Structure formats: structure tokens, C-alpha cells
Structure 1
Amino acid sequence: MSPTSTQQQMDSQEIHPRFGYIGTGDDSPPVEPDHTINLAIKPRDPVPIPEFYFEPTGLAIEPGDTVRFNLASPHHNVNAYHPAFGYTQRVPTDAPPYSSPILGVGEYWLYTFETEGVHNIMCAPHELFGMVGSIVVGSPTGPAANPVGEAPAPSEQSRPPEFTAGLVLSDPAMTPENIADQGSVSWTDLAPESKRPLLTPVQEEG
């Protein structure tokens, strides 16, 4: 596909298989979404780093369902754990390397999940702080059905979910089977130790 035709699809009222669809609260989406996920930030007293999270954090859907990702706070995106982006494969093998741009408050992103299996997603700016999620499309199968750090083995050019991202995806509530059974898993369903920050901000010298 040429750059021109790609741009035409992005500018149209279609949900692109790689780039999805960006909208604002005032427009009419090309399709009505089947599910909604909010991208949010919550203070974490007394720690200076807030909680960055998807709500729900785990979601079970059917192939062909469209998810609306709402920006409840600024500077987030939705990014697949795909080798094309330098990550260990944690989306189905046939899934494209889908990603939204960085979005602002009041915007939303639509994506239609066509490929069956487990899709691990992240907000790239806040991944290491734990802003990751898991969407089970149809059946809890595929590379992301494996625990974090297990097969498929990362290559020298890829890395698995690390720091708080790895903790979140390893929480017992986030197993693909549990997400499929429950239908959705809230951020509040995760154990506090799975949300603990493993990175600290740089301290300015006084």
C-alpha cells in the first residue's frame, strides 16, 4: 500500500487495521463501539508517581468487536506488544503492529480486533509505570497466553514487559482464562503489590 493510499484510509471514516480511527467527543464514529476502555491517571499518596492504568485492565471480546479507548487524562496511546515495535510478541502471530498516536484529553481511539487470541497492549509513554492491559479476543490463546518472561523467548532486538508492566500482567486476576471467565477485570481487582512503582523520578539537586 502506498503512503498516499494509507493516508487516504487514515483520513477516511474507516477503522484502519494498523492505525485505527481517531475521534473527538463531537464527531460521529464510523461504527458504534462494542466496548469502552478508559485511559486514566490516579494519584498515589504518598508516592509522587501516580497510577497509570486502563479501565478495565482486562477485557474479553469477540473477533470483529470494536473497542473505544477514551482519553480521561492526557498524553496516552494504545500500542501492541509487537516485534515490529521492538517488543516480545504478546499479540496473536497474525495481528498487525497496531498503534495509536499520542492522544489528548477529549479524544478517543477506535480499534477493531479481528485476530483471535490474547492481545497485550500498553500506553508507550507510561508502560514501565504499569499502564498495560490484556484483551482476550474469542479464546485465551496465542503468545500472550504464556506468562510474562516465558515463551516465546525474546530476541536481542526485543524485550518483554518490564518493571510494573510485568507485575500487572502477571497478577493472578490478569490470566487470560480469568479474563475470559469474568468478562472484564478492573484495575481495582489487581493486588496492591502488582501495582507498586519500581521506577522513581530523578531528584533535582537543591
Structure 2
Amino acid sequence: MSDGDQRDGRSGIGTLRRDVMKVVGAGGALGALGGTATANEHDDGTPGGMTDDGAPAEPATSTVHTVRTLIGESTSPDRPADFFYQPTGLHVEPGDVVRFVFETPDHNVTSYHPAFGMQRRIPAGVRPFSSPIMGWDPDSLPDDVTEPPAEPGSGGPGAEEGDEGDGADNGDDGGGPVPSTWLYAFETPGVYDLECAPHEAYGMAMRVVVGDETDAAFETSDADQLPQPRAGPVGFARRVLTDPALEPDAIVDKGCVEWSALEAIQSGGEDGESSTE
């Protein structure tokens, strides 16, 4: 998969769409695609991929988007590395599925919601959701493994020369460890802010805009207007989620916003006031 494929936020549609929607439509919970879990924004015990009235998701009208969990070289002396979702801003249509690919381990996807002790930063009526902490699919690792595999692009054991870790094949050729994936169907229009619980302080947060509904009571371009942690975002995530590139209208206009497009990254990414604990 090329970088251009990632920029449109719709990588892996073809065969992937058919495979993923079989899982989502069937309400599969875990492992149907090798380390794949499914969820739904109304996940209250109903199977993943089902709407809140129990009807199956409609595969014919749903698009599968890919978001990768990545770790890159630090753009700031305030952080040991850049921890981020790629893309960091994404526009989808109601009913679309986002496939989170855990190309680097020890990440998750969590909605900002009072159930998790945080200000609601998802549309009213949408239930809180969170993936488990995920990384490599355990079934793709040797039973006697003692050290973690090399991360894609690192050049170490388990990474092939020139491997940029784009998640296109996900190890389906059996040549190495396979990233786990987690699926979520976005049904209700509106703005969704998400974070990685282990790395939120380092800025690992993202925004998904569903449909054309860009008004959100919580949205602001001023980090000082955010609630203080723990109700509000923590650390560098405060700057990420108030970055002009992630304004809802900007995301709808672009369709997909990469981490490198954020002003906070282009300016050197000092945490500044965002380091409030």
C-alpha cells in the first residue's frame, strides 16, 4: 500500500471490504480475520456490526477505512517519540467501518465519554466504546517467543528490507507477525474524538467526522478552553485535538488528515500548555 493509498483514508477496500463486512454483518466477535475484533457504537451486548435495532449492517453501502497505530521519530524534545493514529483526522459516511490496524503494539482506541471519567466528545446518544490493548496477533507468534518482534520499518528481526509497515497485507503471506485489527461501525452523524489510553499524554488522539454534521459543543481551537484533565484531554492530546487541521469542517473538506499536516507537528510540537497533568 502506498502513502497515497493512505491519504484517501480508504485503503484496502476490494477484498478487504468483502471479508470485513462478512465479519461485521455476521456479528463475529473475535478472531474471524486473525486477531480481528468487531465493535459497534451501540455495543450494549448486541453483536458487533449490528445496528441498535438489531438489524445487520448493510455491506453493500458501507466503506471500510483503515487507520494505523504508529510510532515515529520524535518531533519534540518533550516526547520520547511521536505516538499517533494515521490518519489523525478522517471523514466517513454513516454506516462506514473503520478498521484499526495495530502495526505497533500496546495501543487501544477509546472514546472520550463520562463512563471513562472524561467529558463526552462523541455525539449524544452514542454509547462509550473502547478496544482492548492490542498489538501483534498472538496466533501469529511462535509459542516459545520471548522477545517482541521488530516493529514494521525498523529493520530488525521480523521486518523485511523496505517494509514501511503500511498494513496492506497484514502478514497474510505467513512471513511474519500479523498486526491485530479492531473494527468499529460509525452510524450516528457527528464528531468523535478518540484516544489511545497508554499514549494520550504524548498526543495519540484523533478525530472522526461522520457525515456532514460538524457542529459539536465540545469542539474548540483553544486548548485553554478545554476542561482540565482528567475530564479534558491529557498532555499533548490537548494541542492535537485543538489543531486547526482537525477542525471538523477541515476534515470534511480534506477527507483525510495525516499526522504530519498538524500545525503542532510542523511547528516543532513543543507541548507547552498542553503538558498540564
* TM, length-normalised to structure 1: 0.76
- Structure 2 residue 225 is matched with structure 1 residue 195: no
8 Å CA contact 2:72–2:82 kept in 1: the answer is yes
Query: CA shift at 1:163, angstroms?
Result: 1.8
Compute the displacement of 1:146 (Å).
4.1
Q: Which runs of 5+ in 1 are unaligned?
A: 1-7, 22-30, 201-206
Distance 1:99 1:44 in 2: 26
SS in 2 for 1:180: helix
Decide which of 52, 58, 76 is 2:89's aligned counterpart: 58
Structure 2 gaps, min length 5? 1-26, 49-58, 137-178
1:37-93 per-position Cα deviation (integer Å, ceiling 9, x unaligned): 000001227846100001000000011100000111010000001111001111111
What's the counterpart of residue 130 of structure 1?
Answer: 203
Counterpart mapping for 1:81-160 below 5 A:
81-105=112-136, 106-138=179-211, 139-147=213-221, 150=225, 159-160=231-232
Change in 2 beyond 3 A, CA 1:36/1:174: same
Checking the alignment, whether the CA contact within 8 Å between 1:89 and 1:143 is kept in structure 2 is no
The alignment-based identity, stated in percent, is 36
Is the 8 Å Cα contact of residues 9 and 16 (structure 1) preserved in structure 2?
no
Which structure has more strand as a fraction of its residues? 1
Instruction: Count residues with an aligned counterpart.
Output: 181
Report what 1:180 is aligned to: 252
Q: Secondary structure at the match of 2:118?
A: coil
**Greater CA radius of gyration, 1 or 2?**
2
SS in 2 for 1:170: coil
The one-character-per-residue Cα deviations of 1:84-123 (angstroms, maximum 9, x if unpaired) are 1001111111111011000013101100011110000000
TM-score computed with the length of structure 2 as normaliser: 0.58
**1:178 deviation in Å?**
0.3
How much has 1:10 moved relative to structure 2?
3.6
Q: Distance in 1 between the 2:113 and 2:76 partners?
A: 35
Residue 119 of structure 2 aligns to a residue whose secondary structure is coil
Read off the aligned partner of 1:183 and give its amino acid letter: G
